Amino acid sequence: MVKQNISVWEFLFGGGLLSVCLVIILLFLGIAAIFFFVQKLVALNRENRVDPYLLKNVNDLLNDGRIQSAIDFCRRDNSPESRSVEKGLSRLGRPVGEISNAMETHAQIELNRAEKNISFLATLSGAAPMLGLLGGVLVLASTFGTLSKTETVVSQNLLAADFYKALAPSAVGLIVGFLSYVFHNILVAKVDYLLMKIQYHTNEFLDIINKPS
């Protein structure tokens, strides 16, 4: 009697040594991608929180001539935007172009920090499906190599029993690749939003120090 249902466990780990090893590797990479995504998402969400009155408070302190107090306020806020504004405050009295360049350079540093290791997900989104496909092809090659040495009836039974084993690495690779692709795009959107906010605060700060007396 032909078995109708195959459990998930049997589907994933019912193949040969090569198939099982590839599935384990891909599952490990998938778990690593999930942990990395959650950790990075929490960090970016924390960085994307900014005091809505940051520029107003800085402007008020500058109007009172309290430059050091404005710098201390930015340090206490300790967000990417406030760190960029602090960079500009620390160069007050220098040419505006120099202040702008310093803030833009700092914005790039913040961007590089936010993007750190995100490329891991981009790489995994492409590598995982290819690794799974390679595993499936190798398993099928091994299966057909065995079939060529057996009788026809036995070959059909072996093919029916072993064909699904080649699908496990491919399926897991596709799932891991899809999740990594989605995770990567979400994090990139968060980074782009962070960069936009830094640029906005940079431009607003330059307007503050350039306003007519």
Angle at alpha carbon of residue 151, lines to 149 and 152, rounded to 5°: 115
User: What's the rounded mean pLDDT across residues 142-171?
Assistant: 63
Contact (CB, 8 A) for 197 and 154: no
Residue pLDDT, tens place only, 40-72: 999 998 888 877 888 888 998 888 888 899 999
Contact (CB, 8 A) for 166 and 143: yes
pLDDT of 183 over the 90 cut? yes
pLDDT of 145 over the 90 cut? no
Q: Looking at the chain, which runs of residues are DSSP E strands?
A: none
User: What's the rounded mean pLDDT across residues 153-173?
Assistant: 68
User: What's the rounded mean pLDDT across residues 97-123?
Assistant: 89
pLDDT of 86 over the 50 cut? yes
Distances (CA, A) of 90 to 11, 19, 25, 69, 169: 62, 59, 50, 11, 56
Contact (CB, 8 A) for 188 and 118: yes
For the entire predicted model, the pTM comes to: 0.81
The type of residue at 130 is: M
pLDDT value of position 2: 42
